[in-house]
Each structure stands twice: as C-alpha cells, then as structure tokens.
Amino acid sequence: MTVTKVLVAFKTSESDRSIIEEILAEIAVLEFVDEGTRDELIAKIRDADIVIAGYLPKSVLENAEKLKFIQTVTAGVDRYDFEYLRKRNIFLASSKGCNARQVAEHAFALLLALAKRVTVYDNMMKEGKWVPYTRETMVEDLEDKILGIIGYGNIGREIAKIAKAFNMKIYAIKRNPSKRDSLVDFLGTFEDIEYVLSVSDFVIVALPLTEDTYGSIGEKQLSLMKKTAYIINISRGAVIDENALYKALVDGWISGAGIDVWWFYPPDPRTPSQLKIHKLNSVIATPHKAGWTRHAREKCIRFACQNVRRYIEKKEVLNIVDYDSQY
C-alpha cells in the first residue's frame, strides 16, 4: 500500500496540530515545517505528495519531485505561478469562504468607522476637544444608502447580509451572475461597474486579484464616484490603482477610504504604500487583519485538512483553482 506524505508547511500551534492530526494522521504520514525555514522546507518537500501551506514560491516548488496537490490555508492564491503548476500537473485548492464572515465584519467595521467619523472624533476627544453640534460635524446615515459591492462571491454575499440589517440598498457586481439574489437590489456584470460606482454612497471592493482585475479600479472609475462616497478595500491592494486612489483622496474626488489590503508588504521598504496613503487623514488603515481571527484560522485549517482527506480518498475536492480564471 502506498503511503501518502503530507507536508504541513506553515507555522503551527499545538491546537493547530491537534486539528491536523485528528483529520489526517490515520491516512497519511505527516511532517511539519515552518515555511520561513527555507533549507528545512526544501529538504522536506522533496518527497512530499501533498503540501498544506500559505504561499510557496516557485524556487521552493522546483524541489518538490513528487508533489501533486497543494492545499492553501488562505483564500487568496494570486501569488502562485499558475503556468508553472499547470506544466507540472500540480493541483491547487484554496480555503476561500472559510473566513468570509470575518472579512465581511471587518469591512463593515471600516465602513462604520468612516461613516460615523469614529477615528476623527476619538482623536479630537483625546486632544481635549469637544465636537460642537453643527451641520459640519454631522455623521452619515446608513439606512437607505446604496452600498456597492464589487465582487459578489463568498465575502461579498456576507457583506450584503450585514448591510441588510442596516436597511441599505445593495448594488453588486459579479463576473457571472447566473441567477437573481434576494439580498441585492441590483446585480450586474463587470460591464456595469462604472454605473455601480457612480450611484453608490459606499463601495466595498471584494474582488480576487487576477490579470483581469489588476488595477481595474483606476482614475476613470474613481472619478465617477460621488464626492461624498467612501471606498473600502478588503480584497487585494493592487485591484485599486495606488496612484489613482491617492489622487482621488487628495483632490477630494471621494470623501475617504478604509483599507486593509496593501500594495507592499514587509520587508519591502515601501510598505504599505509608497505614496503614504495610510497617513492621509481621510483614510482608516488596518494591516491586512480582516480574516485574522481565532475562529477563522481554526475553520480554515479544518477545511484544508478535510479537503486533503477528500483528495487522498479520491472524493470530490472543493475550491480547485481554475488556472485560466486564476482563482
């Protein structure tokens, strides 16, 4: 009987290992290595049949002589070299959907903080300033406002569920809207993105990063938005053109932005924005933490392991990445 070797190539805690062993120990040989330990990772990946990881570069995968399947513990897979995986006939599956609710909650936290000017007034209070009751100091309503959701997948739909509780009108964009959705007031394709941007009071970007979506929200799109509108990005930084967003914020095309995903990450010295967008007063910034909760982590690890088990047992594997669509 052939023994399947599964390499767990991300930093695990004792509770993480407990979940992994509970699901996989009886049907596979498990090895653990921190993905940051490059030499050990390369040594252990050589005879691995399956890898559970976050992201592994091509320079590491080239050493994987038997690898047939990569299961990520993350939703995003945009950093992988899809053509290389295709040539090697290596399957890639994501854990998309596992942290959708948590990311949606974070998106709404940013939206609420912008609409209610939470950080602005918090800073003023800390400085000993009382905010007077004037028209200029009023905060925004959410009821009956239009929320544009650009990317109506797992996360987008969770955002819509929350928005409904605030009696917002929901206009969503989806690549292939195959059927009507009771949560939304308007569901369009990418051909309708400029319309949705132009009528929305708040916009949340929830698109995967692909060749088609890279920089897809640029000057033209941002210039169509209302001056009173806010944009929130919880997808990938590069979906929005950095220069265009900077111009839109500085020149007052829009009122503000809530950003959790960035154009640059450590150790890049430009982190998180080479234009210092995170320092603008009209921006609320968080360091890519939308999906980083205890429950979401456990859920993603459990899903990843169950999906690996499905692969080993020759059952239907979920969330297989389509290398043509890139997600």
Residue range 57-113, pLDDT digits in tens: 999 999 999 999 999 999 999 999 999 999 999 999 999 999 999 999 999 999 999
**pLDDT tier at 2 (50, 70, 90 boundaries)?**
confident
Q: Tell whether 104 and 90 lie within a shared domain.
A: no
Residue 113 lies in a domain: yes
> What is the number of alpha carbons within 13 Å of residue 316 lying toward its C-beta?
2
The alpha carbon of 208 is separated from its chain's Cα centroid by a whole number of angstroms, namely 7
Domain-ending residue, one of 285, 304, 322? 285
pLDDT (tens digit per residue) in 252-299: 999 999 999 999 999 999 999 999 999 999 999 999 999 999 999 999
Q: What CATH number did the domain enclosing 128 receive? A: 3.40.50.720
The alpha carbon of 27 is separated from its chain's Cα centroid by a whole number of angstroms, namely 32
Q: Tell whether 43 and 117 lie within a shared domain.
A: no
Could you tell me the residue range of the domain that residue 152 belongs to?
100-285
Residue 65 lies in a domain: yes
Q: Tell whether 65 and 40 lie within a shared domain.
A: yes
| Spatial distance between the Cα atoms of 252 and 321, rounded to a whole number of angstroms | 39
**pLDDT for the residue 177:** 85
Does residue 69 contact residue 306 with C-beta atoms inside 8 Å? Answer: no
**pLDDT tier at 1 (50, 70, 90 boundaries)?**
low
Q: Tell whether 142 and 270 lie within a shared domain.
A: yes
Q: Tell whether 178 and 269 lie within a shared domain.
A: yes
The number of distinct structural domains making up the chain is 2
Q: Tell whether 151 and 280 lie within a shared domain.
A: yes
Residue 319 lies in a domain: no
| Spatial distance between the Cα atoms of 238 and 214, rounded to a whole number of angstroms | 6
User: Whose structure tokens read 């000017």?
Assistant: 117
- Mean pLDDT for the chain overall: 96
Q: Tell whether 116 and 204 lie within a shared domain.
A: yes
Q: Tell whether 175 and 308 lie within a shared domain.
A: no
Q: Tell whether 298 and 241 lie within a shared domain.
A: no
